[in-house]
Structure 1
Amino acid sequence: MDAQGPILSPTLPDDADVAVRVRGLVTGFGDKVIHDGLDLDVARGEILGLVGGSGSGKSVLMRTIIGLQTARAGRIAIFGHDALDPDPEAQRALRRKWGVLFQEGALFSGLTVAENIEVPMREYLALPDAVLAGLAAARLRLVGLPADAGAKFPSELSGGMKKRAGLARALALDPPLLFLDEPTAGLDPISAAAFDDLIKVLKETLGLTLFLITHDLDTLIAICDRVAVLGEGRVLACGTIEQLRNFDHPWVQAYFAGARGRAATSGTPNETKAA
């Protein structure tokens, strides 16, 4: 095996502390195969970025890991527990271990922000309304939203506030694992940089593990410990930005070592975003 192989492998050693472990995953729609024998490990406590070309199956991979789409074959373990276990009670218990921020926040338009945050609490926790309201208010503070945001409806929020509200809901049950799908998409550079900073602070203060889908090179550089590159139905490589810039694959080279990649790494991430 060449020197790049073990360094940029999508899998970690068997004795590594792994939050998410995917082996031999096969997914598809009809006759179209999306992932074919995909392997990937996410280490506990890291921020793993996931990139890939349009149609490479980034969101499909995330949705399959969290059980919103059915795998055709393969194994998925989350904190050592079988994520494909058909037992409903086992699935319910496992779902409490993660939170999800979907694209655009995916807030319920007919509920206030506070009510949106309370949704997972009401599903899993038997607590009085006053306690739920207090917990929702605490999540708002955690993501940097003002107290009066809780009474507003999603339509009354800016794009950045919607993202933060969605993040507050993802944190409702204090999960150790977060899945974020294009968290800075649609935000202006300053708001995107502020959201990156928030994610990094939450990761460090709460000890979170994050699986983050993004096209934003600045986000990858600013907060990700490793980046996995999806293509050809599998993870082509997984490593640091610098390692990926030296990885000999046409798409990886074009993405990380091309003009945009060089521009993103020419200064500090926040300087690039705010320019």
Structure 2
Amino acid sequence: MAGKSTDEPIVRVRGLRNAFGDAVIHDRLDLDVRRGEILGVVGGSGTGKSVLMRSIIGLQAPQAGEITVFGKPTIGREEGEMAEISKRWGVLFQGGALFSTLTVAENVQVPLREFYPALDQALLDQISSFKVVMTGLPADAGPKYPAELSGGMKKRAGLARALALDPDLLFLDEPTAGLDPIGAAAFDELTRSLQRTLGLTVFLITHDLDTLHAICDRVAVLADRRVIAIGTIDELLATDHPWIAEYFKGPRGRAAVATKDLARARTNS
């Protein structure tokens, strides 16, 4: 499991409502993300996992509800006030969301230039080089463009950019989607290592059962327009909601458990 967490919420969501026209995505959604944990967020298609993340980071204006991050409300804040909060988190969007016309190093430098425009180029280059290597990319990846990278390398480059400002809170949206099992497992291990080393809190949207079993302290389940359950996987397995049972106890869920048990047995042998 990931590093030790506390019960202190770093993100607090209460009564969240998101709707697009007549389509209600969230209604009276509550969620706490504890400081120092890796929280997995799962749910079926259309349950609004990414919309929830976008609401927390201020890219989606909800119709109702309250959101606090680092103890400060984020809904309706002035741009300058929001900037002071947002520089304490990093975001890895699906696919990496890199700027195609910028090199990897230049992509990593984007948030640094935004928040610290006085930094000279030599320091920017030094910081970006460190972040690139930190995420497991080769040192010569910095001058390359996204089109020259594999899918897994793009994810790591996006992660390097998300870590550029040394955030306390990291948002990961389907970080292992599209990766082969070996690449996905390596990214999971990287996430867990960085979380422990840097003391990060991680909000991780995923459908990957192996990821949930390997690195998540708790899992929040979105269904019926809200968080219907949150807890460890063992705690979720004790609930009687049909979607949770189908998700975690179906063939793929059983395979993920078997893989986890095998890995534990090898570690203990």
Question: Aligned-pair distance for 1:271?
Answer: 5.3
Residues 111-170 of structure 1 show CA distances to partners (whole Å, capped at 9, x for unaligned) of 000000000000001200110000000101110111110000000001110000000000
Residues 228-259 of structure 1 show CA distances to partners (whole Å, capped at 9, x for unaligned) of 00000000100111111121000000001122
User: 248, 252, 259: which one pairs with 1:267?
Assistant: 259
Q: Superposition pairs for residues 233-248 of structure 1, below 5 Å?
A: 233-248=225-240
Give the Cα–Cα distance (whole angstroms) in 2 for the partners of residues 146 and 85 of structure 1. 41
Code of the aligned partner of 1:101 = L
Q: Name the SS of the counterpart of 1:266 in structure 2.
A: helix
Match of 1:40 in 2: 31
Question: Aligned-pair distance for 1:266?
Answer: 1.4
Alpha-carbon distance change, 41 to 238 in structure 1, aligned in 2, over 3 angstroms: same
Give the Cα–Cα distance (whole angstroms) in 2 for the partners of residues 79 and 151 of structure 1. 35
Q: Name the SS of the counterpart of 1:265 in structure 2.
A: helix
Q: Superposition pairs for residues 195-234 of structure 1, below 5 Å?
A: 195-234=187-226
Match of 1:10 in 2: none
Q: Superposition pairs for residues 77-96 of structure 1, below 5 Å?
A: 77-96=68-87
Question: Aligned-pair distance for 1:185?
Answer: 0.2
Question: Aligned-pair distance for 1:86?
Answer: 2.3
User: 49, 57, 74: which one pairs with 2:40?
Assistant: 49
| Aligned-CA RMSD value | 1.4
Question: Aligned-pair distance for 1:270?
Answer: 8.3
Give the Cα–Cα distance (whole angstroms) in 1 for the partners of residues 86 and 112 of structure 2. 12
- The answer on whether the counterparts of 1:23 and 1:75 sit within 8 Å (CA) in structure 2 is yes
Question: Aligned-pair distance for 1:269?
Answer: 7.3
Match of 2:101 in 1: 110
Q: Name the SS of the counterpart of 2:136 in structure 1.
A: coil
Q: Superposition pairs for residues 150-229 of structure 1, below 5 Å?
A: 150-229=142-221
Report sequence identity in percent: 64
Give the Cα–Cα distance (whole angstroms) in 1 for the partners of residues 87 and 152 of structure 2. 26
Code of the aligned partner of 1:82 = P
Q: Name the SS of the counterpart of 2:258 in structure 1.
A: coil
Does residue 144 in structure 1 map to residue 111 in structure 2?
no
Q: Name the SS of the counterpart of 1:173 in structure 2.
A: coil
Q: Name the SS of the counterpart of 2:62 in structure 1.
A: coil
TM-score (norm 2): 0.94
Give the Cα–Cα distance (whole angstroms) in 1 for the partners of residues 189 and 261 of structure 2. 11
Residues 178-209 of structure 1 show CA distances to partners (whole Å, capped at 9, x for unaligned) of 00000000000001000000000000000000
TM-score (norm 1): 0.92
Does residue 124 in structure 1 map to residue 83 in structure 2?
no
Runs of 4+ in 1 over 3 A off after TM superposition: 269-272
* Aligned residue-pair number: 258
Q: Name the SS of the counterpart of 1:35 in structure 2.
A: strand
